[in-house]
Amino acid sequence: MTGNAIELSRVSKRYLLGDDYGVGGSLREAISSALQRSGRAAKGRGREEIWSLRDVDLTVAAGESLGVVGRNGAGKSTLLKVLTRITEPTSGVARTQGRVGALLEVGTGFHPELTGRENVFLNGAILGMGRQQIRRQYDAIVDFSGIEQFLDTPVKRYSSGMYLRLAFAVAAHLQADIMLVDEILAVGDAEFQRKCLGKMAEVERSGRTVLFVSHNLDALLRLCPRSIWLEHGKLVAEGPTQDILDAYLASGFRRNAITRYDEPADPVALRAVTVLDTSEQPSSLLRRDEPLGIEVEFEVGRSVPGLDLSVIVSNLRGLRVLDEAWSDNAPTDRGRPGRYRARLSVPAILASGEYSVGIWIGSAYESLLWQDDALQFRLEGSMRGRPDRVLTLQLGWQVDIQEEPIVPGR
C-alpha cells in the first residue's frame, strides 16, 4: 500500500448528554427516552454538548507507527472509533486505505456466545478475509494466545486476561493493513505485555500502519517515531515522540524551588523542602553539570525511636531515580523531639529534564509522613544525543589493545 493510510480533515465529534445512541433498545427504553426529552423541553432546558473531537487534521503515512497521548477524556478513544467506523464524525471527513484491525477494549469485536475458535473466524470475516486465509494464520494465533485448551469454550466464560490474549492474537495476525490499539495492554500481565510490544514492533517492520494509544510512555518511545497530543478533543501538537512526550508531561508540571508547610507535629511534620544551587540559593532551574542540594526542614513533636527520613527524586515518567535515607550514614539515636534541618548533596549525575522530590518520614515499624510531590525542579543541559539516559555518571574507561594487527610482509 502506498500513499497515506489515514487522512482526517477537520474531523469533529459531538455528543449530547442524556441522549441514547443505541439502535437496538427495547420499546420501554424508547418510550422512557422520549419522555425524558419531552420533560427537558417542557422545562426549557437545552441539552449540554460535549465535543470529543474538534477540527482534527491528521495524516498518517502507510507503514508508519503513530503514538497518541493525552489525558483521560482527551478524545483518544473517540478518534479510534471514528477510524473504525464504530461511530461517524459529526463533521469533517475521515478516510482509511486498506483493512483496519482494531483492539479498542476487552469485548469489542467478539460475540460472547461463540467459542474462541468461532470468534477467530468471525473476526477474520469482518476484516474481509477468506476462510482459507484465516486457516493459514490460525495456528500462529493459537500459539501466540497461549489458551489453546479453552478455544472451544464460549468467550463469555473467559477471564479478562484470556479475552485479551485471544483478541490481541487475532488483531495482530489477521493481516490488517492498519492496526489500531487502545490502552488495552494495561489488562495483561507483564510477560504478555512484552510479548504484545514485540509483536507490534514486528507488525511495524512488516510495513503495516499502527496507531497506538497508550499511557505507557516508554512503549510509545520504543514503537512510535512520531506522536500526536490530544487535549479536550483538539490536536495540540504533533512531531517526534520524544518532543511530544516532553511537552505533554511538562504541561502538568509546576516548578517551585521551595515549599513550606504548617501542620502540627504529631509526632512529626514537614516545615519546608528546598532545592539549592551551588551558591546555596533556592532555585527551580539548575545546570545539569553542577551539583545541587535538597534541604528538608522537619519537626519532631514527641520522641520517635529510630526515626528515619528519605528523599526520593523521580523523573517525569515516574521512575524513581534516587532514594536516599538518613539512616544510611546517621547515628542510631535518631528521633528526639526538636526542629531539624537535613541536607542531601546530589552530585552532577542526573540527566537533563524535569524532576519531582518526594519526602518520607517514619521508622522501621511505621510510616509517619509521605509527601509524594513536595516540589519540582528542572536541570538544563545537553543530552548528548542520549535522551533516554537516567543518569550521566561519566564513569572512567580503560581500553587495552590485546593483539597488534598483523601487517603483511613484516
Q: Are residues 34 and 166 in the same domain?
A: yes
Question: Does residue 404 form part of some domain?
Answer: no
Radius of gyration of the chain (CA): 28
Query: Is position 391 within any domain?
Result: no
317 and 215 in one domain? Answer: no
For residues 257 and 275, give the distance between their C-alpha atoms in angstroms, rounded to a whole number: 5
Span 44-48, average pLDDT: 61
- 242 and 262 housed in the same domain: no
Residue 145 lies in a domain: yes
Cell of 344: 542531601
Average pLDDT, the chain: 84
Quick one: which of 342, 337, 328 has its CA closest to 296? 342
Predicted pLDDT at 192: 76
Residues 237 and 275 in one domain: no
350 located within any domain: yes
Total domains in the fold of the chain: 2
Report yes or no on 403 lying in a domain.
Answer: no
- Residue 153 sits at φ, ψ, to 5 deg, of -100, 135
The answer on 223 and 124 residing in a single domain is yes
**Which residue type sits at 257?**
A
Same domain, 174 and 278: no
| CATH code of residue 176 | 3.40.50.300
* Domain coverage including residue 90: 4-251
pLDDT band at 47, cuts 50/70/90? low
Is 17 found in the same domain as 153?
yes
Nearest CA-CA partner of 78 in 123, 12, 164: 12
Farthest CA pair distance, the chain: 104
Kindly state whether residue 14 falls inside one of the protein's structural domains.
yes
2 pLDDT above the threshold of 70: no
- 170 belongs to a structural domain: yes
β-pair type (308-315, 320-325): antiparallel
Position 369, amino acid: L
Answer yes or no: do 276 and 322 share one domain: yes
- Pairwise pLDDT comparison (240 vs 191), residue with the higher score: 240
Domain end among 192, 218, 251: 251
Q: Confidence band (pLDDT; 50, 70, 90) for 24? A: very low
**Per-residue pLDDT band at 398 (split at 50, 70, 90):** confident
Q: Is residue 263 located within the same domain as residue 215?
A: no
Confidence bin at 227 (pLDDT 50/70/90): very high
| Same-domain check for residues 166 and 145 | yes
Which pLDDT score is estimated for 27? 53
Three-state secondary structure along the chain? CCCEEEEEEEEEEEEECCCCCCCCCCHHHHHHHHHHHHHHHHCCCCCCEEEEEEEEEEEEECCCEEEEECCCCCCHHHHHHHHCCCCCCCEEEEEECCCEEEECCCCCCCCCCCEHHHHHHHHHHHCCCCHHHHHHHHHHHHHHHCCHHHCCCEHHHCCHHHHHHHHHHHHHHCCCCEEEECCCHHHCCHHHHHHHHHHHHHHHHCCCEEEEECCCHHHHHHHCCEEEEEECCEEEEEEEHHHHHHHHHHHCCCCECEEECCCCCCCEEEEEEEEECCCCCECCEEECCCCEEEEEEEEECCCCCCCEEEEEEEECCCCEEEEEEHHHCCCCCCCCCEEEEEEEEECCCECCEEEEEEEEEECCCCEEEEEEEEEEEEEECCCCCCCCCCECCCCCCCCCCCCCCCCCCC
Residue holding cell 527520613? Answer: 309
**Which of 12 and 352 is assigned the larger pLDDT?**
12
Q: Give whole-number Cα distances, 204 to 1, 128, 164, 186, in Å.
A: 13, 21, 20, 20
Whether 393 is covered by a domain: the verdict is: no
Question: What is the predicted pLDDT for the residue at 88?
Answer: 93
How many beta carbons lie within 10 A of that of residue 403, not counting itself? 5
ω before 331 within 30° of 0 (cis)? Answer: no
Pick 164 or 91 by higher pLDDT: 91
CATH number, domain at 271?
2.70.50.60
The arithmetic mean of pLDDT across residues 221-233, rounded, is 91
Percent of the chain with pLDDT over 90: 40
Q: Within this chain, do residues 298 and 369 fall inside the same structural domain, yes or no? A: yes
**What is the chain's length?**
410
- Residues 262, 150, single domain; the answer is no
The last residue of one of the domains, among 251, 278, 302, is 251
Q: Burial level of 252, CB count in 10 A (0-12/13-18/19+)?
A: exposed
Q: What is the pLDDT of residues 326-358, one digit of tens each?
A: 998 867 778 899 999 999 999 999 998 889 999
